[in-house]
Structure 1
């Protein structure tokens, strides 16, 4: 091979690598602020601030002081995907569906790594003493693998984690997407990982549909009940997205969860909380934010007036009916 040929080959290879990297950066699944989760904290300036973690390269972090205006303040990982997860999930270009919460002096960030439509997935965990990137204590410690799945070893998909500490002090991790639905397992507070021999308990599924399209569990305790929020249908198709949020409740954090009509969520039950409107399409993958001033649902949605923004962050007030079911109001801010 001549020098020119070698140089041309090198240039072509570099061009291809640049194209692939650029395509990964433009991956619409990683743009906007998909799959948001939120906490409230006092920042380094001594004022209450709100932080959102969202799907993206390395997990996006956003900050607000009023729940209306948000700015990006960094990301959890320097790399798009931690090295251990990249080895487990070749071809992954970002981190999906983080879950952010605060317990016993640490911020816990569960996260998932997968590729679209695949059951080969992993859930990891990172912890930090601080959530404000300006804090001298701000340093994420990656604890690595928590749960994994594959077609050969499991009947579930290990993405969309969400942690709940129940009224009895049990640490419970919910997760799942499609296949046989959503699961929960008790985790050890010392490690944040499943207890040895802990039972994996099914909590919600859609056996009555061909797609089995259910994912994004989020559990919340309110007035004697545990409420399990889930997302149904198609998440990521712009104005054609059919994502919607459903809910059921139980006296026990591990179920059985039933909707307002008494149908089990294991049998496809789920009371509608929010669905698409003329402007907002595919609202879903919610978290909750509870403060002294009230509760808010944190979710993503497409704005048909600006579809190029991809799945945007939306905050809506959450209230409860006399019968004890959640309802959401209009967004606190509109682009």
Structure 2
């Protein structure tokens, strides 16, 4: 698979350098238990661990990044505070990273279509399923707020500052600063930054994931309608900024606060509504990890994994 990825990348990179367009690639080969929503993945010392929405944060493991086996969930039992935001104790959209020798996982608890929502934090010494300890609520919203506390993503910037981006519909993507000592909101910097929105109702942009590449920060976000099987219109766009707090603009210079965003991946062939993405660095490069709806399987949500390339102007593409 990796050799094929590299051969495909050569052709894709050549087209990108020439400014030409090319067809979106199909997801890289994955097998086993790959029915997921909102996947996040990390490589530990012993395996790959992937977490996703539902089931106390469903877990899957792999030794080769191809074959995935269901391995329980992050939590064995739900923390008591979940019930305030989800009557079914149903957590969503985890974000896993390793910071300072421990694993952190931010995740959301809410119900569909509501912004009575909270972002929680869990920690683990190994990152493996069943080993996570609840650290409580990091940020919450109520129905009186103009934004939504779901779809969290941790960014550690070039200066070592910690930031949490999040958001869905309402007024789009927001960001707050965190304290690295606690992983929770910074006590002296309470600014609520605004990174991206849509100028048109229902303001359908969500699931931020921000990475640093070169001299820029890149905000990947999911646009339009998720979770509707073959009727989903999800797609992944990106903007970039020289500051973690923005402003983020697309390739044409349009702000992501005005509906801007450069397309990274959208529906093509039987690959419907790709989104819910996260970006992971591995030994062979950066990976886009996402879900899509399989047109050859009645719209079943599946795991997608593609390598990310960078063109001569510093913009990402998948191959």
Is the structural similarity TM-score above 0.5?
A: yes
Q: Which runs of 5+ in 1 are unaligned?
A: 1-30, 44-48, 330-335
What is the correspondence of 1:1-335 to structure 2 with a 5 Å cutoff?
Answer: 32-43=35-46, 49-79=47-77, 81-86=78-83, 88-133=84-129, 139-152=131-144, 154-197=145-188, 198-206=190-198, 208-307=199-298, 310-329=300-319
Cα RMSD over matched residues?
1.4
Instruction: Give, in angstroms, the shift of residue 141 of structure 1.
Output: 1.3
Instruction: Give, in angstroms, the shift of residue 132 of structure 1.
Output: 3.2
| 1:18 counterpart residue number | none
Instruction: Give, in angstroms, the shift of residue 322 of structure 1.
Output: 0.7
Instruction: Give, in angstroms, the shift of residue 41 of structure 1.
Output: 1.3
Q: Specify the structure having the higher radius of gyration (Cα).
A: 1
Distance 1:209 1:318 in 2: 30
Instruction: Give, in angstroms, the shift of residue 182 of structure 1.
Output: 0.6
TM-score by length of 1: 0.82
Equivalent pair of 1:92/1:113 in contact (CA under 8 Å): no
- Between 1 and 2, higher relative CO (CA 8 Å, sep ≥ 6) is seen in 2
Distance 1:173 1:61 in 2: 23
Distance 1:128 1:266 in 2: 36
Secondary structure of 1:187's partner?
Answer: strand
Equivalent pair of 1:92/1:114 in contact (CA under 8 Å): no
Equivalent pair of 2:86/2:109 in contact (CA under 8 Å): no
Change (3 A) 1:301 1:249: same
Range moving further from structure 2, 64-73 or 223-232: 64-73
Equivalent pair of 1:239/1:302 in contact (CA under 8 Å): yes
Instruction: Give, in angstroms, the shift of residue 90 of structure 1.
Output: 4.4
Equivalent pair of 1:39/1:52 in contact (CA under 8 Å): yes
Query: Between Structure 1 and Structure 2, how many residues are aligned?
Result: 285
Distance 1:90 1:272 in 2: 33
Equivalent pair of 2:75/2:131 in contact (CA under 8 Å): no
Instruction: Please identify runs of 4+ aligned residues in structure 1 that moved more than 3 A.
Output: none
Instruction: Give, in angstroms, the shift of residue 312 of structure 1.
Output: 1.2
Question: 1:66-125: per-residue Cα shift (whole Å, max 9, x none)?
Answer: 22111111211123x422111x12423411100000000111001101111011111100
TM-score by length of 2: 0.86
